């Protein structure tokens, strides 16, 4: 009789331990989904650094791999195009920037000789440390070359929980992105951390 009681007690304790473990997982998942909802409703913060460079900050989305498949198929396709298995991806980040430069450039007269036929044309050229523009105007047509160089610095940092002056743990992860090109402006940023 005591043998059956011990077996029943072990079975009950095993069921209780499994229930507590499952409760912990469900609670973590609930907290993750709650934080994701808050991130979805927040917009990215766009600001300028002390050097007047464009910057943006946004909190991290924490998604499961299946959720990424339904949330952003383009991002998933990019991962597959790179021949990376989705199970090996830790996090994904994407940022879009727009470069706008207004220039006034004097036009120079020149002559091109093609097959011993002189062709009158005009040329222009302008450049700074980040953007170069050059081109030829001939026969009512413009041939132009525009080259823009940009460096995006991405920093992911944790935001701790705070109560008065006490800081502990991690409340959220946040990504800050800075564009080093003063002509560029960050128009979109997103950081997704994948979890199992």
Q: What is the pLDDT of residues 103-145, one digit of tens each?
A: 888 888 888 788 888 888 888 899 988 899 999 888 778 889 9
Q: pTM to 2 decimals?
A: 0.68
HEC string of the chain equals CHHHHHHHHHHHHHHHHHHHHHHHHHHHHHHHHHHHHHHHHCCCEEEECCCCCEEEEEECEEEEHHHHHHHCHHHHHHHHHCCCCHHHCCEEEEEEEEECCCCCCCCEEEEEEECCEEEEEEEEEEECCCEEEEEEEECCEEEEEEEECCCEEEEEEEEEEEECCEEEEEEEEEEEEEECCCCEEEEEEEEEEEEC
**Chain segment 137-189, per-residue pLDDT in tens:** 887 788 899 999 888 888 888 888 888 888 888 777 888 889 888 888 988 88
């Amino acid at each position: 009789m005591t043998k059956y009681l011990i077996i029943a007690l072990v079975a009950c304790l095993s069921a209780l331990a499994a229930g507590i473990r499952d409760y912990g997982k469900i609670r973590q998942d609930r907290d993750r989904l709650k934080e994701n909802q808050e991130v979805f409703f927040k917009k990215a913060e766009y600001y300028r650094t002390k050097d007047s460079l464009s910057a943006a900050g946004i909190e991290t989305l924490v998604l499961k791999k299946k959720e990424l498949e339904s949330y952003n198929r383009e991002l998933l396709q990019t991962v597959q195009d790179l021949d990376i298995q989705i199970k090996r991806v830790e996090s994904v980040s994407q940022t879009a920037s727009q470069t706008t430069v207004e220039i006034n450039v004097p036009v120079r007269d020149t002559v091109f000789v093609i097959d011993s036929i002189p062709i009158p044309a005009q040329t222009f050229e302008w450049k700074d440390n980040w953007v170069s523009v050059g081109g030829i105007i001939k026969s009512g047509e413009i041939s132009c070359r525009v080259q823009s160089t940009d460096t995006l610095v991405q920093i992911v940092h944790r935001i701790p929980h705070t109560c008065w002056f006490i800081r502990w743990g991690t409340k959220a992860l946040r990504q800050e992105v800075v564009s080093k090109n003063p002509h560029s402006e960050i128009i979109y940023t997103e950081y997704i951390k994948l979890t199992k």
